[in-house]
Structure 1
Amino acid sequence: MSAGDSVDLAELYRTHHLQMVRLARLLVDDLASAEDVVQEAFLGMHRNRAALRDPAAAVGYLRQAVVNQSRSMLRRRRTVRAHLKAAEPEIAPPADSDVLLAEEHREVLRAVDQLPPRQREVLVLRYWSDLSEADIADALGISKGTVKSQASRAMAALATIMQEGRDSDG
């Protein structure tokens, strides 16, 4: 797409919808919420389509919108949970979830879930979405140095969490 082209939202949707749902799924932790997040990101992009200065940057804009929508959803969840008087019943995972992931992957995902949100976002964008430090910095609105330090801290924390898990099992 050249800078003079308009954004083809249908093509953007066809090409990047699944990738954005996967990204959101890792950030918000359930598929239905992830789909809602991505839908909101696409709607926001549609509403602000005229303001998009560089149509070639549409994917980056969309990715940033997904990250921001995910953060908003998590904030809303925290607020709701803080005000609940009774605990919500635990929902069992789908019966086939054990088949979908090997045990070591589940271990890593459980460890990633224990990281602070910023560290989790950096790792998901780096290792799941395979973004560069510059792209991650743009998506999260932080500096490249912050991306590096958050990634380093996250990897150290993951190693500690994983080791503690092994120590408690053995």
Structure 2
Amino acid sequence: MDLGRPEPAETISGLYAEHALGLTRLALVMIGDRESAEDVVQEAFLGLHRRFDRLRDPDRALVYLRSSVLNNARSVLRRRRLPSWFAGTYAPPVWSAESEVMLGAERRAVMEALQRLPRRRREVLLLRFYAELSEEETAQAMGVSRGTVKSTTHRALDALGRLLGENQ
């Protein structure tokens, strides 16, 4: 046993207890349905468990999880867009009756406008303002530079403002 490395089970359990709900919320906003969001997060934690011994820096396990959730959510969205013999093309998520009651009109408008943004812009806004990550943490999760996060955030906010202006 390596005394310098934390135990995988303890580390992963702690990360799950502290971050699973937030990661699930992030996936839910990206994907639009709770079951798929929960599956995406579970896959991320399973991937971390399988690869934990190969992590160069176990302190970066949360960065790995965030990136994995983003990648898994992208895969779900990509699969939804593929033509299928059984289903039509992908449509943006439809808010359930329960969600309609819970969410105010303004929040719904913002969520709908977010869904209309290109993937990268939507992701940067979700990570920065929904998940409340710093520019550096967002850059690490997305695998881009901090400057890219800054410029993408600026462009995304401009585009979101224009989309919301259309709705008024």
TM-score (norm 2): 0.88
Counterpart amino acid of 1:121?
E
The answer to which of 92-101 and 127-136 deviates more is 92-101
With over 3 angstroms needed to count, the CA separation of the structure-2 counterparts of 1:120 and 1:87, relative to structure 1, is closer
How far off is 1:84 after superposition? 6.1
Cα distance in 1, alignment partners of residues 91 and 139 from structure 2: 38
Cα distance in 1, alignment partners of residues 57 and 69 from structure 2: 18
8 Å CA contact 2:127, 2:138 repeated in 1: yes
Cα deviation digits, residues 131-159 of structure 1 (max 9, x gap)? 11111111111111111111111111111
With over 3 angstroms needed to count, the CA separation of the structure-2 counterparts of 1:96 and 1:133, relative to structure 1, is same
Show the counterpart of 1:118.
120
Show the counterpart of 2:77.
74
- SS of the aligned residue for 1:80 comes to coil
How far off is 1:14 after superposition? 1.6
How far off is 1:53 after superposition? 2.1
Show the counterpart of 1:5.
6
Show the counterpart of 1:94.
96
Q: What 5-or-longer segments of structure 1 have no aligned partner?
A: none
Number of residue pairs the alignment of both structures matches: 164
RMSD over aligned Cα atoms: 2.4
Show the counterpart of 1:165.
167
Residue 47 in structure 1 maps to residue 84 in structure 2: no
- SS of the aligned residue for 1:142 comes to coil
Cα distance in 2, alignment partners of residues 89 and 71 from structure 1: 15
Q: What 5-or-longer segments of structure 2 have no aligned partner?
A: none
- SS of the aligned residue for 1:131 comes to coil
With over 3 angstroms needed to count, the CA separation of the structure-2 counterparts of 1:88 and 1:67, relative to structure 1, is closer
Cα distance in 1, alignment partners of residues 52 and 42 from structure 2: 15
TM-score (norm 1): 0.87
The answer to which of 143-152 and 88-97 deviates more is 88-97
Identical amino acids, percent of aligned pairs: 45
Match of 2:33 among 30, 48, 73: 30
Residue 56 in structure 1 maps to residue 59 in structure 2: yes
